[in-house]
Amino acid sequence: MDGSAPAVSAVAPGESSPPVVDEVDVIVVGAGPAGSTTAFHLAQAGLDVLLLEKTAFPREKVCGDGLTPRAVRQLVAMGIDVSESAGWLPNRGVRIMGGGHALELDWPRLASFPDFGLVRRRAEFDEIVARRAESAGARLVQRCNVTGPIIDDRTKHIVGVTARSVDEKGRPNGDSVSYRSRLVVAADGNSSRLSVAMGLERRRDRPMAVAVRTYIRTPNDRDDRLETWVEICAGGRILPGYGWIFPMGDGTVNVGIGMLNTDKIDSKIDYRDLMARWLREIHPQRGLSLDDATEPIRGAALPMAFNRQPHYTRGLLLVGDAGGMVNPFNGEGIAYAMESGALAARVMTQALARQTPAQVEQALSGYPRLLREYYGGYYTMGRWFLRALGDPRFMRWAVHRGLGRRRLMELSLKMMGNLSDKPGADAGDRLVNALQRLAPKS
Ligand SMILES: Cc1cc2nc3c(=O)[nH]c(=O)nc-3n(C[C@H](O)[C@H](O)[C@H](O)COP(=O)(O)OP(=O)(O)OC[C@H]3O[C@@H](n4cnc5c(N)ncnc54)[C@H](O)[C@@H]3O)c2cc1C
């Protein structure tokens, strides 16, 4: 296979699904961080994997481009060179701005995580991870738009997908084809059409945020910290969200704003206007203006705290944004996309070595349980945190009082970044771990 979707002449009359062009162990739909990590680990375990991606690399993805130590750990686990000489921009922590404070915090020193984060444009980042999956043996098919599941009439399980090759504008330029497999992974991002086609709608009772970003030209394009601004105001109140300025090291910074969108006023927010006003307010400190933007402001949704479930049903596993796994505390999604991909691959590898369909199912049913065990308590706390954030009194207290308390903020960074040793090495870790254990895992 040459890496582009195969051209197949015609669908035979009377066939329920188009001609089968390949049959593999696992099909992974979507080559973002979730899909490529899943494909990498499956291929490493010796399984035959197809990674189907509707765009072609390098391609843009709307993102802040910031990676915490949690994401770095996943890159390292895949054997990816994360050195500066390989094009990564390291950072040693965060700078939190607001309420007259400028608080600099280092990433915690832990046994389980590196003590640095990274920045890299998604156009490059996603391709690096996808190529790593390819080099491990996964077969990447680009410009291949998956159009739906193929369902076995008898078992009602997904046994493959239909797809069409598309051009650079996403327009179909070939006939429909089928790919068959024993298992399918939905790694197709927030809207996850594949999950929806399998009856898995988004949970409306789970949080969702909206974020927008652009790149702005500046001579200050390097910083050893990820900078966040927590005092974004509109209508006389502090909004539940934050602004960020992440250094790109290429003559620009990535500038964005993320907001919780369960709040009543948010549907009326004009994000371009909000960003322009915020940049004007911080102009004396940062000197950034939308007049120097190198591209339009673009935005997308961040699905949080398991906002699509179940994560396994009838031969389909959900990873990353498809499974709504963005961290509700800080809007970080890449680490969770990669971690859930690694977990799903581990479960699938074990499942596919089982002897009977019942045993395979039993093994696969462990995936949602494993996810709940890993993130359930943490995401529940995140939902409580977001509820508090929706209360202007809490926001005011956090910005004006909380930021002035270094020890509290160090602990908050551990909590919000989900960065602690287990078992805990110090009192902070033990507190964070205990809270996660006590919160309901759902
Ligand atoms: C403005 C903004 C800023 C953000 N900043 C950060 C940040 O700084 N750090 C961080 O960790 N997270 C950030 N996030 C969240 C992060 O971008 C996501 O959580 C992450 O991209 C999820 O990865 P994924 O692989 O699950 O999905 P995606 O990255 O969305 O990848 C899905 C892939 O599936 C492909 N696909 C979709 N449909 C099909 C189909 N039918 N057929 C074939 N392929 C298909 C897509 O083309 C895409 O390549 C941000 C999000 C937004 C919106």
Atom 4, ligand 1: which residue's CA is nearest? 63
Contact 258, 386 (CB under 8 A): no
Atom 21, ligand 1: which residue's CA is nearest? 334
- 204: CA distance to ligand 1 center in Å? 20
- 63: CA distance to ligand 1 center in Å? 8
Give the number of other CB atoms < 10 A from CB of residue 377: 20
Tokens of 137: 């043996």
Question: Residue 311 contacts by C-beta under 8 Å, 6 or more apart in sequence?
Answer: 317, 318, 323, 340, 367, 368, 371
Ligand 1, pocket residues at CB < 6 Å: 29-35, 52-55, 61-66, 71, 145-146, 187-189, 193, 211-213, 256, 299-300, 302, 320-322, 326, 332-335, 337
- 14: CA distance to ligand 1 center in Å? 37
CATH topology of domain 92-115+205-303: D-Amino Acid Oxidase; Chain A, domain 2 (3.30.9)
- 50: CA distance to ligand 1 center in Å? 19
Among the listed residues 223, 241, 224, the one whose alpha carbon sits nearest the alpha carbon of residue 232: 241
pLDDT in tens, 284-333: 999 999 999 999 999 999 999 999 999 999 999 999 999 999 999 999 99
Out of 108-122, 196-210, 251-265, pick the least confident.
251-265
Atom 53, ligand 1: which residue's CA is nearest? 300
Q: pLDDT exceeding 90 applies to what percent of the chain?
A: 79
- Rounded to whole angstroms, the Cα distance separating 428 from 355 reads 45
Give the phi and the psi of residue 12 in degrees, each rounded to 5. Answer: -65, 140
Question: Which of the four pLDDT bands, split at 50, 70 and 90, describes residue 262?
Answer: low
Report the residue among 27, 54, 330 best suited for mutation to probe ligand 1: largest number of ligand atoms under 8 A from its CB: 54
- How far does the chain reach from its first CA to its final CA, in angstroms? 42
Atom 37, ligand 1: which residue's CA is nearest? 188
- Rounded to whole angstroms, the Cα distance separating 135 from 118 reads 23
DSSP assignments along 378-431, one per residue: HHHHHHHHHHHHTSHHHHHHHHHTGGG-HHHHHHHHHHHTT---SS-SSHHHHH
Q: Read off the pLDDT of each residue in 129-157 and give the average, rounded to a whole number.
A: 97
- Residue ranges, comma separated, of all CATH 3.30.9.10 domains in the chain are 92-115+205-303
CA distances from 351 to 26, 361, 363 (A): 12, 7, 5
pTM assigned to the model: 0.95
CA distances from 45 to 26, 67, 137, 311, 365 (A): 12, 26, 10, 22, 20
Superfamily of domain 1-91+116-204+304-442 in the CATH hierarchy: FAD/NAD(P)-binding domain (3.50.50.60)
Report the residue among 65, 165, 302 best suited for mutation to probe ligand 1: largest number of ligand atoms under 8 A from its CB: 302
Task: Pick 36 or 442 by higher pLDDT.
Answer: 36
Atom 5, ligand 1: which residue's CA is nearest? 64
Question: Which of the four pLDDT bands, split at 50, 70 and 90, describes residue 14?
Answer: very low
Tokens of 185: 């992974």
Out of 92-96, 137-141, 289-293, 420-424, pick the least confident.
420-424
pLDDT in tens, 328-351: 999 999 999 999 999 999 999 999
pLDDT in tens, 166-180: 999 999 998 899 999
- Residue ranges, comma separated, of all CATH 3.50.50.60 domains in the chain are 1-91+116-204+304-442
- 61: CA distance to ligand 1 center in Å? 7
Strand pairing class (237-238; 233-234): antiparallel
Contact 70, 334 (CB under 8 A): no
